[in-house]
C-alpha cells in the first residue's frame, strides 16, 4: 500500500468531520428559528373567547294566572307586573324571592301595593281569571309613587312581557 492509499484509508476511518460542522453556533440558531416557526404553525390555537351573551329576552304575554308561577320558588325566575308590564326581577331575588320582604309581589300584579305602599292581601288581584286592576281609584300621590317605582324598575330590570286579562291574550 503506498502512502496515498494509506492516507485515504486513514481519512475514511475518521468519524465524519462534516457532521461536526453542522453544529456551528449559526446553524444551531437557524435550526432553532426553523423549529420555532414550524411550532407556531402547528401549535393548537387557543379558542377565541367571545363575550358571554345575555340570553335573548322573549317577550311574552301573561295573565295573572300564568304569571303566578314566577314567584322564585325552587330557583324559578321572579317576575312581577306593574301597570301591564312584566318585569324580570330575578336580580332582586333578595327582595322578592321566597322569604324576601316583598315576596308578596312575586308572580303578581304589584301595581296597587306599590302605589299605596301596602303589603295587604287585598292589594293583589284576587280573581286570577278576571279583569285586571284598573287602578282608576288611585290618588294623584299614589299614582306618582307608582310612577317612581316603575321608573326604578325600568332602570334596573328587563321587561319580559305584558300582563293582560284572561281572554285578552291575542288582542294587540
* Interaction site with ligand HEM (CB under 6 A): 89, 92, 95, 102, 113-114, 117-119, 149, 156
Smallest gap, in angstroms, from Cβ of residue 74 to ligand HEM? 21
CA–CA separation, 29 and 35 (whole Å): 10
Nearer to ligand HEM, 52 or 140 (CB): 140
148 neighbors 140 (Cβ within 8 angstroms): no
124 neighbors 112 (Cβ within 8 angstroms): yes
Task: Give the cell for residue 46.
Answer: 387557543
Smallest gap, in angstroms, from Cβ of residue 123 to ligand HEM? 8
Nearer to ligand HEM, 62 or 105 (CB): 105
Task: Give the cell for residue 125.
Answer: 288581584
DSSP at 31 = H
Antiparallel, parallel or unpaired: β 60-62 and 79-82: unpaired
Nearer to ligand HEM, 37 or 118 (CB): 118
Task: Give the cell for residue 129.
Answer: 281569571
Residue closest to ligand HEM (Cβ): 92
Smallest gap, in angstroms, from Cβ of residue 151 to ligand HEM? 11
Nearer to ligand HEM, 95 or 128 (CB): 95
Task: Give the cell for residue 52.
Answer: 358571554
Smallest gap, in angstroms, from Cβ of residue 149 to ligand HEM? 6
Amino acid at each position: 500500500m503506498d502512502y496515498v492509499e494509506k492516507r485515504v484509508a486513514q481519512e475514511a476511518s475518521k468519524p465524519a468531520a462534516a457532521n461536526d460542522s453542522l453544529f456551528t453556533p449559526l446553524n444551531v440558531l437557524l435550526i432553532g428559528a426553523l423549529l420555532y416557526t414550524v411550532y407556531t404553525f402547528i401549535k393548537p390555537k387557543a379558542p377565541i373567547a367571545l363575550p358571554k351573551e345575555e340570553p335573548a329576552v322573549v317577550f311574552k304575554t301573561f295573565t295573572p294566572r300564568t304569571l303566578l308561577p314566577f314567584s322564585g320558588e325552587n330557583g324559578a325566575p321572579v317576575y312581577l307586573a306593574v301597570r301591564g308590564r312584566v318585569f324580570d326581577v330575578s336580580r332582586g331575588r333578595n327582595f322578592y324571592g321566597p322569604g324576601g320582604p316583598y315576596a308578596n309581589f312575586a308572580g303578581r300584579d304589584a301595581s296597587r301595593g306599590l302605589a299605596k305602599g301596602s303589603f295587604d292581601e287585598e292589594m293583589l288581584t284576587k280573581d286570577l281569571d278576571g279583569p285586571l286592576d284598573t287602578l282608576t281609584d288611585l290618588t294623584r300621590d299614589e299614582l306618582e309613587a307608582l310612577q317612581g317605582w316603575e321608573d326604578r324598575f325600568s332602570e334596573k330590570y328587563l321587561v319580559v312581557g305584558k300582563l293582560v286579562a284572561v281572554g285578552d291574550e291575542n288582542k294587540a
